[in-house]
A = this chain, B = another copy of it.
Amino acid sequence: MNTTPSSIPRTSAVVFTSAQRLDDGVVERRFTLGEVPGILWTPETATPSDPRPLILLGQPGGFGLDRMYPRLVGRALSAASDGIATVALEGPGSGTRPPLPGADQARADLRRALAAGEPVSDDIIDRLILPVVEQSVPEWRSALDALLRLPEVDEPVGYAGGVIAVGVRLAVVEPRIVAAGLFAGSYVPRATLEEARQVTIPLHVLLQWDDEGNDRQAALDLFDAFGSREKTLQANLGGHTGVPPFAGDDAARFFARHLK
């Protein structure tokens, strides 16, 4: 079994490796931060005298930045049209990064349970999700330290996307994050349900009503548990990958309301 040391020391600085101007006046810059690659999108009108709020774009576990790029850039362009910067990081165990300890075994156990038509046990969910949380959360926090030293981005910060357990932990521990748009599309560890009660920031939670791989009741229980005074659940018909375009628009308005 590997051990995975923390891959972004808290003193790391963003090292830009490429830059291009996309349509719509958005600058896309690839970077590394310690050992971790990432992409930062900023409206080209962002300047040191007019810095922009930042949304951290979370990703489903196990998919790399390259595979997720089309969806990420779509969200980046949408946020930029509201004047907001966005950033994505290669997740632990994803893309070119080394696998997380125990991840292969947990995925094999998950596949076996699903193939046998058995319920997915809490133990499998914990082994699948908690290592991602343990590794992702400090990486995002170190990335935030580094990114907020760039003159063209500034607080407040939002978190958007999956893994939902990562978003919940960040919402609890990272005070610079003031709003989160979460995708109820991954398994929910028992510990996450407990942590949810400590979340107080405004939340916008997307649920695909017919998600093949997930437990609708677990998602509803999680939504119920959140301690936030402003929380919205938006459930849309369709499977895991069928989030309709207007749901993205509604999430974008949620962030525009809270970050600007």
Contact = CB atoms under 8 A, between A and B. Distances in A.
A71 interface: no
B244 A237 contact: no
Interface stretch (A142-150, A191-199, A227-235): A227-235
Number of copies: 2
Nearest to A230: B237
A249 B253 CA distance: 10
Nearest to A228: B237
Q: How large is the interface on A (under 10, 10 to 19, 20 to 34, 35 or more residues)?
A: 20 to 34
A209 interface: yes
A254 to B, nearest CB: 8
A257 B246 contact: yes
Interface of A is mostly: mixed
Given A230-B244, A244-B230, A223 B235 contact: yes
A231 B220 CA distance: 17
A195 B230 CA distance: 33
A234 B234 contact: yes
Contacts of A32: none
A232 B233 contact: no
12 contacts: A209-B231, A228-B237, A230-B237, A231-B236, A231-B237, A232-B244, A233-B234, A234-B234, A234-B235, A246-B257, A249-B253, A250-B250
Interface of A: 209, 220, 223-224, 228-237, 244, 246-247, 249-250, 253-254, 257
Closest 8 CB pairs of A and B: A233-B235, A231-B237, A232-B236, A234-B234, A250-B250, A232-B234, A230-B237, A229-B237
